[in-house]
Amino acid sequence: MFKGANLFLRSEKFLTFVSIPNRSLWRNARDRFFQNSAATGGLVALFLVVLFALFGPHIAAWNHEDIDWNLLGNVREQGAPSWQNGHYFGVDELGRDLFARTAQGTRISLMVGIVGAFIAVVVGTFYGACAGYVGGRVDGLMMRLVDILMSIPYMFVLILLLVMFGRSMLVLFIGIGLISWLDISRIARGQTLSIKKKEFVEAAAAMGVKPIIIILRHIFPNLMGVVIVYATLLVPSMIIYESFISFLGLGVQEPATSWGVLINDGASQMSYGTLWQLLFPLFFFVVTIFSFVFIGDGLRDALDPKDR
Amino acid sequence: MTAGLQIENISVIFRVRRRHAWPWRPPSLLCAVSNISVSLLEGETLGIVGESGSGKSTLAKAIVGIVRTSTGAIVWRGQNLSQMSAHERRASAKDVQMVFQDPLAALNPRMTIGDIIEEPLRTHCPRMKRNERQEHILEMLERVGLHASHINRYPHEFSGGQCQRAAIARALVLKPKLLICDEAVSALDVSVRAQIINLLTSLQRELGLSMIFIAHDLSVVQHVSDRIAVMYLGHLIEEGPSREVVQEPRHPYTQALIESIPSPDPSAGGPRRQKLLRGEIPSPLNPPSGCVFRTRCIIARQACAHEMPPMTPISDQRRVACPYSVEDAL
Amino acid sequence: MLLDVHNLKVWFKTGDGQVNAVNGLSFSLDAHETLAIVGESGSGKSQTAFAILGLLARNGYASGSVRFKGKEILNRPAGELNRVRARQLAMVFQDPMTSLNPYMRIADQMTEVLQYHQSMSRQDALSESLRMLDAVQIPDAVSRINNYPHQFSGGMRQRVMIAMALLCRPEILIADEPTTALDMTVQRQILDLLASLRDEFGMAVILITHDMGIVAEFCESTLVMYGGRMMEAGGTETLFKSPLHPYTSGLLSAILSLDACHQDLPTIGGEPPLMTELPLGCPFHDRCDSVQSICRTTLPKMESIERRRYACHRPLAQPRNPP
């Protein structure tokens, strides 16, 4: 019987009991994530790429803007990667240091990817959760708006925006941010509809909790599993968007650079035998995209509710 | 004793849109609760019995305000809950709390037990200090038979019975006046069920709660209730003191419910009793005309198809919605 | 003897260590017998059924012996098991919705079984399926057979499941909590149906449940499980009249009757043990009212008298032979 078994209590005893390990669902998921070697590998690789983006420019012997006049005329013969002249990744066709440029490009590409995905997650989740929770006509209106926005060929709009307002990072962010949240809002709405029917949401409503608090306290945390997985898969697609735009020549402005610009330049020089100009940026690009995909996969397995 | 809760002629009607219907076609109406009047004295327990689809959960949700009523009034201590604004309604939730059927589903899996029990306090007493709230939580945990060490644990680490205890703690931490238990013990193992029933009845006595206890199992309901109301397809069909309803049921459906309780005595095989129920509960989207029970009733006659018999008093405290008696008819 | 289970052990390997679901269970089932396996959730009763049918989850392992008509069927290759499962052993689950394919008509799901296992023609299979639906008393079977599972109510779905299980005329039907998800009135109908089908088809039935209440009217013999072990077994009548194990008597007193009113119900205190860390000695000792020091250290041996068996250091009554 539970009768006299636990009639003690009060703060001082309580403190000794708090130390009992408690396992939240997040913690279980983390354990599962690290059992997945591909995902862990992806995380390590991504960490290294981020380190490179952060500290690369400081290690580099050259600035990413400066031209090495000694090499300008004969990039093909002398511009290859070498430790002696400080061009670890070689130089580009104008004689600028590729190591510094790749590091700088990595910075911008990662930033575009992460900021774009972040905007998408915040706006999309909130929008979708509100639509799903309120339901009825409001839901119908909000989701039709998403449908309309989705039917616009966004690449076209993005290119128009960049042409009209000039090529700047800000316009690029706004353009990507405008369209990236649409998918996530649909996913969040669908999930919210199923979470809304759970008894703990009804219980909160019966308790007199305000709708906005219910969304933030009960719906959001339970959406996060799905949204995080989607967001990790969104980052690479953001990077690819940006690369594509830059590849077309509408992205970041010289002398700043990004993976798309670098790969474009490298590709155009390929026939001259300066393959390093293509391969170094491409390597970072591919490694990052794969890392995100592996991490996303690992997260999906780790957060899979069926496994609970 | 004074009337705490008075439910007067409430109906809950849902608009149901058929799948693949054209958007301009009017939705069909589903009457989940139709014209129910029932009252509850302070400190009393009202049991509501019925099969799934009888509208008993909808009635409970209408009382706590998760579901909108279409007509009628819910009067709680002189205040008409159904006419309140959403804001006033939320404030009144302090007095009326609910415990749900599936204990694990009723607790947010991402919150600790402590956070879950704290939530009503955070909602209704925002100025209360953190350690004061902590004290309330610990007191509630102790009251419902959980351990203080459970405060930082998550619902999935507990068994069904323990989760239901936590749900009860959450419902009672604000010291409500009315507790609604919607199938609160149906999902539990038999041995745990007895523990939870004992817990609920003892808490009710200690705190002077009024209680509405909803279940599909008449033997559970009669054990905790002072009065029993029987529902079928959204209608109230019999009401009275629990002992009387169980011992001399008047409505054929109530009699069928009692007959369906399995006998715990293996030697009482003998000749099988008369079968009092046939078929299944009809869809509430397409209820039978007249008396809703007539399609399954063994004493149904022509007249039953015309009109739903009203709840008629047959004694001081008893009402029944059937003018015939099974004994006479057979 | 139709089915003979000897020293059955079932365990699962999980991230949190080994979970021992069944720890040495032995019982036997005669033809036409109805056996109830009773226990709380987590007592290993469902896993026993899954192990017999070879349906354990991928991380589950079983040892011991399960003989069907003298032939070992535990841990046999899937092909061999499929033949036994289809023709001689059938199972009905608690939630029919999870074991019916929501995208297939009932007709297709039922005939598939017959066409595959009995190599019947589609036409024969269809008429046989209709006969089974009639047998489980589904009204208007001819038109309902073309419906999808979600078009049936819970009780009707359970009837469909039973009809599917009966298609190949099995000799043993294992029903795992067939009525737990259903209303009282429907529960009654399903139990009555099972009883009449058992007589009609001459099957043996194993009914797995946590509710002693439904055992009394339906089963000849009862086996009470706790913590993956058998606590007590015997004829239902004698077991109900004079339970030997305190756990059995606790389960019996938890049955609610309509007479007792407004008093505290007798309960079994506490919670079932975690299967990862079973206590030493008798698994029931920390919830037992008549616990003694020996119960905490030594596992009670299985005693048997006539048809009754029990595992308790201190049985409640002096075991007698049944009259």
pLDDT of residue C37: 94
Residues A128-154 have pLDDT tens digits of 999 999 888 899 999 999 999 888 887
Enumerate the residues of chain C whose CB falls inside 8 A of the CB of residue A1.
Answer: 267, 269-270
Verify whether the Cβ–Cβ distance A2 to C15 is below 8 Å.
no
Verify whether the Cβ–Cβ distance B100 to A203 is below 8 Å.
yes
pLDDT of residue A1: 32
CB pairs under 8 A between B and C: 119
Residues C149-185 have pLDDT tens digits of 888 888 888 889 999 888 888 899 999 988 887 888 8
A208, B94 Cβ separation under 8 angstroms: yes
Whether B70 and B22 map to the same domain: the answer is yes
Q: How many CB atoms neighbour CB A86 within 10 A? A: 13
Report the residue of chain C nearest B50, measured CA to CA: C183
- C196 close to A (CB below 8 A): no
Instruction: Please compute the mean of the pLDDT values over residues B160-172 and round it to a whole number.
Output: 92
Residues A18-51 have pLDDT tens digits of 334 456 677 777 888 888 888 899 999 999 989 8
Whether B310 and B273 map to the same domain: the answer is yes
Residues 122-161 of C with CB under 8 A from B: 139, 153-156
Is the pLDDT score of B299 beyond 60?
yes
Which structure tokens are listed for C133? 């639906």
Closest in B194, B267, B269 to C266, CB measured: B194
**Is B194 domain-assigned?**
no
Is the pLDDT score of A6 beyond 80?
no
Numbered residues of chain B with Cβ closer than 8 Å to any chain A Cβ: 61, 64-66, 89-94, 97-98, 100-102, 105-112, 119-120, 123-124, 134, 138, 142, 145-149, 151-154, 156-157, 167, 170, 195
**Is B190 domain-assigned?**
no
Whether B106 and B47 map to the same domain: the answer is no
- C210 close to B (CB below 8 A): yes
Show Cβ contacts of residue C285 under 8 Å, excluding neighbours closer than 6 positions: C279, C291, C295, C296
Verify whether the Cβ–Cβ distance C184 to B261 is below 8 Å.
yes
Whether B35 and B145 map to the same domain: the answer is no
pLDDT of residue A9: 31
What are the domain boundaries of chain A?
A: 24-307
**Is B196 domain-assigned?**
no
Whether B222 and B322 map to the same domain: the answer is yes
For C95-126, b where at least 16 C-beta lie within 10 A, e where not — what string?
A: ebeebbeeeeebbbbbbbbbbeeeebeeeebb
CA distance C173 to B210: 46
Residues C69-94 have pLDDT tens digits of 888 888 888 888 887 877 788 888 88
Identify the band that residue B269 occupies on the pLDDT scale cut at 50, 70 and 90. Answer: low
Enumerate the residues of chain C whose CB falls inside 8 A of the CB of residue A2.
Answer: 269-270
pLDDT of residue C262: 56
pLDDT of residue C216: 85
**Is B257 domain-assigned?**
yes
Verify whether the Cβ–Cβ distance A6 to B153 is below 8 Å.
no
Residues C283-294 have pLDDT tens digits of 888 888 888 888
pLDDT of residue C320: 52
pTM of the predicted structure, to 2 decimals: 0.82
Q: How many CB atoms neighbour CB B79 within 10 A? A: 12
Instruction: Please compute the mean of the pLDDT values over residues A299-308 and round it to a whole number.
Output: 64
Report the residue of chain B nearest A223, measured CA to CA: B110
Instruction: Please compute the mean of the pLDDT values over residues B21-47 and round it to a whole number.
Output: 87
- Domain with residue B289: its CATH number is 3.40.50.300
Instruction: Find how far residue C258's CA is from the centre of its chain.
Output: 27
Given the DSSP bridges, would you call strands C172-176 and C204-209 parallel, antiparallel or unpaired? parallel
Using the Cα atoms of residue C49, residue C52, residue C58 and residue C64 in order, give the sign of their dihedral.
Answer: positive
Q: Total structural domains in chain B?
A: 2
pLDDT of residue B211: 94
**Homologous superfamily (CATH) for A24-307:** MetI-like (1.10.3720.10)
Enumerate the residues of chain C whose CB falls inside 8 A of the CB of residue B262.
Answer: 187-188, 191, 213-214, 216-217
How far is A210 from chain B, CA to nearest CA, in Å? 8
Instruction: Please compute the mean of the pLDDT values over residues B189-213 and round it to a whole number.
Output: 89
Verify whether the Cβ–Cβ distance B94 to A208 is below 8 Å.
yes
Is the preceding omega at residue A255 within 30 degrees of 0, hence cis?
yes
Show Cβ contacts of residue A67 under 8 Å, excluding neighbours closer than 6 positions: A94, A95, A96
Identify the band that residue A304 occupies on the pLDDT scale cut at 50, 70 and 90. Answer: low
Residues B8-24 have pLDDT tens digits of 899 999 888 777 777 77
**Is B312 domain-assigned?**
yes
Identify the band that residue C117 occupies on the pLDDT scale cut at 50, 70 and 90. Answer: confident
pLDDT of residue A152: 84
Q: What is the ipTM of this complex?
A: 0.84
Distances in Å between the Cα of C274 and the Cα atoms of B158, C17, C279 are 10, 12, 9
- The region of weakest confidence among A116-130, B220-234, C205-219, C263-277 is C263-277
Whether B249 and B309 map to the same domain: the answer is yes
Residues C15-63 have pLDDT tens digits of 777 888 898 899 999 988 999 999 888 888 889 998 998 888 888 899 9
Residues 29-58 of C with CB under 8 A from B: 40-42
Which domain covers residue B134, as residue numbers?
A: 96-175
Verify whether the Cβ–Cβ distance A23 to B124 is below 8 Å.
no
**Is B126 domain-assigned?**
yes
**Phi and psi, residue B225, nearest 5°:** -100, 150
The vertex-B166 CA angle with B162 and B169, nearest 5°, equals 140
Is the pLDDT score of C223 beyond 90?
yes
Report the residue of chain B nearest C272, measured CA to CA: B159
- Residues of chain B with pLDDT > 70, as a percent, come to 96
- C266 close to A (CB below 8 A): no
pLDDT of residue C8: 93
The vertex-B32 CA angle with B27 and B37, nearest 5°, equals 135
Q: How many CB atoms neighbour CB B330 within 10 A? A: 9
**Is B186 domain-assigned?**
no
Whether B114 and B71 map to the same domain: the answer is no
**Is B180 domain-assigned?**
no
Residues 15-34 of C with CB under 8 A from A: 15
